[in-house]
Amino acid sequence: MRVDLMTLLVVALRVILADVGLRDGNQALKQPMNRGKKQVYFDWLKKLGIRAVELGFPAADPEDAKIVAELAAQAVPGMTVGALAMATESHIRIAGEALATAPAGVTKRIHTFISTWPHAMQHSLGKSPEAVREMAIESVRLARSLVGPTNDVQFSPEHFGDCWDNLNWVIEVLRDVVAAGANVINLPNTVERSMPWRFVEMVRRVDEALDDDLIISIHNHNDLGMATATSLMATAVNPNRRWQIECTLNGTGERAGNTSLQEVAIALMLHGVQTGINFERIYEASLAVADLLDMPISPKAPHIGREVTVQRSGIHQKGAGVTQERNVDPAYLAYRPERIGRPPQDFEFTPQSGYFGVMQVVLSTGETISETEARVLQPALKATANQHPKLTAEEIVAVLYAYRELTEKKTVEAADIEALAKDVISRMRGSQYWRLVRAYFNSSSSGKASCQLRLTHNSTQFEDVALGDGPVNAAVNALSRITGLEIRVSNYQAAGVTAGSDAQGEVTLNVQINGGVFAGEGLDTDLNVAAVRAVINGINKALEANHLDESAPAASVGT
């Protein structure tokens, strides 16, 4: 009879998550953790409520033995703290000594191992299968004598995942080590080479051969990218057994890493399996450990990558937004990000986004926007996004405000909105050393004109007035007085974006400063103001390119 995997998980699975990052994760780092970093990592595991932790490999280094002893002393009742030891007397005794500091109520676990893979027995160990069997039995027997009857002895047949051809013999060894005192059998997929189904079948055969009161542990590396799936499938072969999954925060470990703690924990949570994990701190812990180990998180890493909660396509944004507003399960996420302590799903606008994306981006800033406004702005924002990837929320809100201001001046057409969006975002993307606050012009019948300008620079406002032969010349003279720069303008061109007396005007020109020529663009319903914007655009480009003196004369009017 076929039994559904998820039914097994939901109904009866009992799973212990054991973090091995202080040992298996640590040995894979370019710069292994020092005492301080191991303390921080261990503290995070306690905050998360991890019940079993392998603290290190004491025999590998006297300093590591000291650290294991220090951390073991800090374990809280209900925890299991382990130490790794090769199947030799010296290693096992050192492990036992390091764990002796664990307080009452904490389970001490000596974890000993030896390879049972024919290739490794022949080429790495240089020992016969019978010699390996005897070493395994004697090591477990010694470990049990050191920790006593109430603590744990864990045995691992290293490279178990490669033992398909000699699995019957491996099972005999496992029966022997259980008889010698092992109460936890760890089955490592030391190098992931096969499909999950084969490893799961091997686990099933071991499960059938051992009593149900033993803990069977699964240890999968991620060489083929299937460690999480393989671990979960393996633990579902027997709902009556207590299982353990060995894993690490962020999946740190040799080569492609170990099974990811957060992936396993969250998958179990979503299917009703209780693990005792403090899920609301998983995201925080993951980021902290990534920083601690100097191992950046992939943007697409499940659960914790910065990209995994971002909605960009129009269809997804609408589905995600509607379900979020209705406070029901998200349409395009496996669960609400808040469940693991990360911010809610994010909406970004790209050329693939629709009007609902405009609404969600604006609403996320606390601003308001109507559906009509979003529908009107979306085509222009989409066209602009093709030239300026990933429009920010601030840019979209600025376009919204500019659009509202423009509707008060004229009847707005589609071409107006597209030109407006391009102008606003281009100015925001450029260096904004100087910004226009307002401009006033007066002209006489003689052709002379005056221009009064107010600009901001580093949050300070500056104002001045100048005369000139026409409005544009007067504006250039005022800008020269305010900025302290010698400015010349050439190749002035003006065009209406749309037809009619209330049309927006677009001005392009060249700004010459200190021998350099910089193109400027400006948009406004008043061509003179558009010219001022164009000159300021050129000035800002010159300042950015040449790092010119930004000092201004004492024309400040305050902030």
**Which pLDDT tens digits describe the chain residue by residue (559 residues)?**
344 544 444 333 479 999 999 999 999 999 999 999 999 999 999 999 999 999 999 999 999 999 999 999 999 999 999 999 999 999 999 999 999 999 999 999 999 999 999 999 999 999 999 999 999 999 999 999 999 999 999 999 999 999 999 999 999 999 999 999 999 999 999 999 989 999 999 999 999 999 999 999 999 999 999 999 999 999 999 988 999 999 999 999 999 999 999 999 999 999 888 888 999 999 999 999 999 999 999 999 999 998 999 888 889 988 888 888 888 888 999 999 999 999 988 888 888 999 999 999 999 889 999 999 999 999 999 988 887 767 888 889 999 999 998 888 888 888 888 888 888 887 777 667 898 999 999 988 888 999 999 999 887 899 999 999 999 999 999 999 999 999 999 989 888 766 666 667 888 899 998 888 888 888 888 899 999 999 998 998 888 777 555 554 545 554 3
Residues 252 and 345 placed together within one structural domain of the fold: no
- Asked if the structure places residue 15 within a domain, the reply is yes
Query: Which of 321, 310, 401, 406 has the alpha carbon at shortest distance from 359?
Result: 321
Length of the chain: 559
User: Quick check: is 305 in a domain?
Assistant: no
Q: Which pLDDT belongs to residue 487?
A: 93
Whether 185 is in a domain gets the answer: yes
Residue 281 sits in the same domain as residue 328:
no
CA nearest 348: which of 306, 411, 300? 306
Task: Please tell me the distance from the alpha carbon of residue 439 to that of residue 459, in angstroms, as a whole number.
Answer: 18
- The pLDDT, as a whole number, for residue 157 is 98
CA-nearest of 425, 434, 432, 422 to 397 is 425
381 lies in the same domain as 316:
yes
Q: Are residues 90 and 218 in the same domain?
A: yes
Tokens found for residue 416: 């107006």
- Same domain flag for 318 and 223: no
Note whether 243 and 316 are same-domain residues.
no
Q: What is the model's pTM?
A: 0.76
Of the three residues 428, 453, 486, the one that is the final residue of a domain is: 428
Pair (197, 336) in one structural domain? no
> Which backbone phi and psi does 253 adopt, to 5 degrees?
160, 180
407 in the same domain as 440: no
**Residue at 38: amino acid letter:** K
Instruction: Give the number of other Cβ atoms within 10 Å of residue 495's Cβ.
Output: 12
Among 380, 405, 428, residue at a domain's last position: 428
Whether residues 316 and 230 share a domain: the answer is: no
260 CA to centre of own chain? 14
Same-domain status, 65 and 124: yes
Which CATH number is 207's domain given? 3.20.20.70
Whether 300 maps to a domain, the answer reads no
Task: State the CATH number of the domain containing residue 501.
Answer: 3.30.160.270
CA distance 121 to 58: 24
Exposed (0-12), middle (13-18) or buried (19+): which is 235, by Cβ within 10 Å?
A: buried
In a domain? residue 301 = no
Domain residues for the domain of 395 are 310-428
The whole-angstrom distance between residue 136's C-alpha and the CA centroid of its chain comes to: 42
- Are residues 59 and 200 both part of a single domain? yes
**Domain assignment present for 143:** yes
- Considering the domain architecture, whether residues 443 and 418 belong to the same structural domain is answered as no
Query: In this structure, is residue 303 part of a structural domain?
Result: no
Q: At residue 426, what is the residue type?
A: S
Quick one: pLDDT at residue 557? 52
Query: Do residues 197 and 161 make contact, with C-beta atoms less than 8 angstroms apart?
Result: no
In a domain, 403, yes or no: yes
pLDDT score recorded for residue 427: 76
* Domain finish residue from 264, 293, 322: 293
Q: Which two tokens stand for residue 440?
A: 């006033």
Instruction: Name the DSSP class of 525.
Output: S
List CB contacts of 245: < 8 A, sequence separation 6 or more. Answer: 15, 16, 17, 18, 217, 218, 231, 232, 235, 259, 264
Number of domains making up the chain: 3
